[in-house]
């Protein structure tokens, strides 16, 4: 990396930190610190959702998976877009108007504190050991190759400091300010790596003609390592339902919206931005097979492309985009975990604590989470590719909470007994499948795991609820078909075009 690249990276990162610290960044009330005063506009929500999703671990993981298996990995992205449209028009009004701080807070009102505690502990575990650790590992992996003099642990510590400065002080409002600029930088960097990759392989037509036929196909056979077509039906919808509908890391942006229409527009905007992922992240991974064949570790292909293809100056911009993605995901994930612990545990244990003390508790918890995630992050290299590490763990873990959460939203008869039964059945089933798989008694692709667990959890939720007394669920916590009658026609057109473009991509690359 040249001096010019170093100046560009340091300059852009410094600018992002100053933007995060600028304005009225010292949030003192809980609503202002944890949910930006519920005043975020649609473009802030859209950029923040995209920046949080378009993380460093996504860049490294998706590019590495594409290098290894082709574009089938994009199935997660287009199904995710459909999940965002569903969220925008079906759930946004219920979630936004519930006036909760977290999904766990919603589960407390819909069921009881036991379900909230189970969800909170589960989500915190995923945030610390998957989301945060995955991002820190991805950052350390790339930057240690770009700057060999720095160790992975040293880079992870540096990332913690950079992302923690403004998120600890300013909360979600400061994070949302930086996310817009981070999104623009990382999109610019992604387009640059796409351009230079296509240039290196002689253009799109040359790349397509020399690529393995299955590498440019979304719909694969039953024996496919990445996404067998059955996994597209049995696994990805459940994983996307968790990520976009149940994950505090994403839902916090809808909860912080100024209004339901603002939340809806923000979700749709993020959906349009996600359409770019196929071209600016995944296709370069496929093309890289022709540039750097036989790379032993697929997760190292993205840093290899940067070092192999990018001239001085351009490398600095792309690297700054990667660091921006890393900071954006890290700050949002940190804040989500801090919000859950502070509002669902600290506030419950100390109900009379002042808002100011709650905010300072959130800041302290943020620092603790950073330290734990940084200690675990280097261990991820022992679990195969980064993408398989993340999706493999989620496939076994998330289905019970998706069923309980969505069941509570759509079925008024669902009660606490049913929810406890569903979580218990789901946990035991996942454990049994994992043990049988580990003992090599059965062999099952991880994408075939979520659906059977979901179906068993659904049966358990229904049976447990019907066999016990009916709950007294508040109407504002339940979805109703006539609840939102003021959807703007323009939003419907925007959503229709988004769905059409998404399905067109799938048809072209089927």
Q: Is residue 442 part of a domain?
A: no
Does a structural domain hold residue 398? no
Do 79 and 229 meet the contact criterion of CB atoms below 8 Å apart? no
Kindly give, in sequence order, each residue whose CB lies less than 8 Å from that of residue 487, ignoring residues fewer than 6 positions away.
89, 264
Which of 140, 122, 147 is closest to 405 using CA atoms? 122
Res 101: pLDDT? 81
- Is residue 200 included in any domain, yes or no? yes
Question: Which domain does 262 fall in, by range?
Answer: 3-392
Per-residue pLDDT, 303: 83
Q: Which two tokens stand for residue 427?
A: 């946990």
pLDDT of 407 reads 95
**pLDDT at site 385:** 60
Q: What percent of the chain has pLDDT over 70?
A: 83
Q: Residue 479: inside a domain, yes or no?
A: no
Q: What is the model's pLDDT at position 140?
A: 72
Q: Does residue 342 or residue 434 have the better pLDDT?
A: 434
Higher pLDDT, 271 or 181: 271
Residue 149 DSSP label: T
Residue 488 lies in a domain: no
6 phi and psi, to 5 degrees?
-60, -45
User: Which of 4-13, 72-81, 356-365 shows the lowest per-residue confidence on average (mean pLDDT)?
Assistant: 356-365
Find how far residue 354's CA is from the centre of its chain: 32
- Is 458 a member of any domain? no
Tokens in use for 95? 């979630």
Residue 453 contacts residue 399 (beta carbons within 8 Å): yes
pLDDT band at 170 (very low <50, low <70, confident <90, very high): low
Q: Is residue 420 domain-resident?
A: no
- The verdict on residue 450 lying in a domain is no
CATH code, 318:
1.20.1730.10
| Number of domains the chain contains | 1
The pTM of this model reads 0.85
């Amino acid at each position: 990396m040249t001096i010019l690249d170093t100046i560009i990276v340091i300059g852009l990162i410094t600018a992002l930190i100053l933007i995060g610290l600028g304005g009225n960044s010292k949030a003192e009330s809980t609503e202002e610190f944890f949910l930006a005063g519920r005043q975020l506009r649609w473009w802030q929500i859209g950029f923040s959702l995209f920046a949080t999703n378009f993380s460093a671990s996504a860049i490294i993981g998706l590019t590495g998976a594409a290098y290894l298996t082709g574009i089938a990995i994009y199935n997660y992205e287009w199904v995710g877009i459909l999940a965002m449209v569903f969220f925008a028009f079906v759930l946004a009004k219920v979630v936004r108007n519930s006036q909760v701080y977290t999904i766990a807070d919603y589960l407390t009102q819909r069921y009881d504190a036991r379900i909230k505690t189970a969800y909170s502990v589960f989500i915190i575990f995923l945030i610390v050991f998957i989301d945060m650790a995955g991002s820190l590992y991805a950052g350390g992996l790339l930057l240690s190759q770009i700057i060999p003099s720095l160790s992975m642990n040293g880079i992870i510590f540096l990332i913690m400091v950079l992302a923690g400065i403004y998120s600890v002080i300013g909360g979600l409002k400061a994070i949302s300010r930086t996310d817009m600029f981070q999104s623009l930088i990382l999109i610019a960097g992604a387009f640059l790596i796409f351009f230079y990759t296509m240039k290196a392989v002689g253009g799109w037509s040359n790349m397509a003609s020399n690529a393995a036929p299955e590498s440019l196909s979304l719909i694969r056979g039953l024996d496919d390592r990445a996404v067998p077509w059955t996994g597209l039906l049995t696994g990805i919808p459940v994983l996307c339902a968790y990520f976009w509908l149940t994950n505090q890391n994403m839902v916090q942006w809808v909860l912080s919206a100024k209004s339901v229409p603002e939340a809806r527009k923000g979700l749709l905007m993020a959906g349009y931005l996600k359409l770019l992922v196929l071209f600016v992240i995944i296709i370069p991974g496929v093309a890289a097979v022709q540039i750097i064949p036989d790379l032993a570790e697929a997760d190292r292909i993205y840093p290899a492309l940067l070092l192999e293809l990018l001239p001085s100056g351009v490398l600095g911009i792309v690297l700054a985009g990667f660091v921006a993605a890393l900071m954006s995901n890290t700050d949002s994930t940190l804040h989500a975990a801090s919000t859950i612990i502070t509002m669902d545990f600290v506030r419950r244990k100390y109900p009379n604590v002042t808002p100011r003390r709650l905010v300072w508790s959130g800041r302290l918890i943020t620092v603790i989470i950073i330290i734990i995630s940084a200690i675990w992050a280097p261990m991820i290299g022992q679990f195969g590719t980064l993408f398989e590490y993340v999706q493999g763990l989620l496939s076994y873990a998330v289905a019970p909470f998706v069923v309980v959460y969505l069941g509570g939203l759509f079925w008024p008869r669902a009660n606490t007994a049913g929810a406890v039964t569903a979580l218990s059945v789901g946990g035991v089933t996942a454990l049994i499948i994992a043990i049988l798989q580990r003992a090599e008694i059965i062999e099952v692709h991880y994408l075939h795991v979520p659906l059977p667990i979901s179906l068993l959890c659904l049966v358990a939720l229904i049976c447990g609820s019907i066999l016990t007394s009916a709950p007294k669920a508040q109407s504002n916590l339940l979805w109703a078909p006539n609840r939102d009658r003021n959807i703007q026609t323009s939003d419907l057109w925007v959503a229709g075009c988004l769905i059409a473009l998404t399905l067109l991509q799938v048809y072209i690359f089927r």
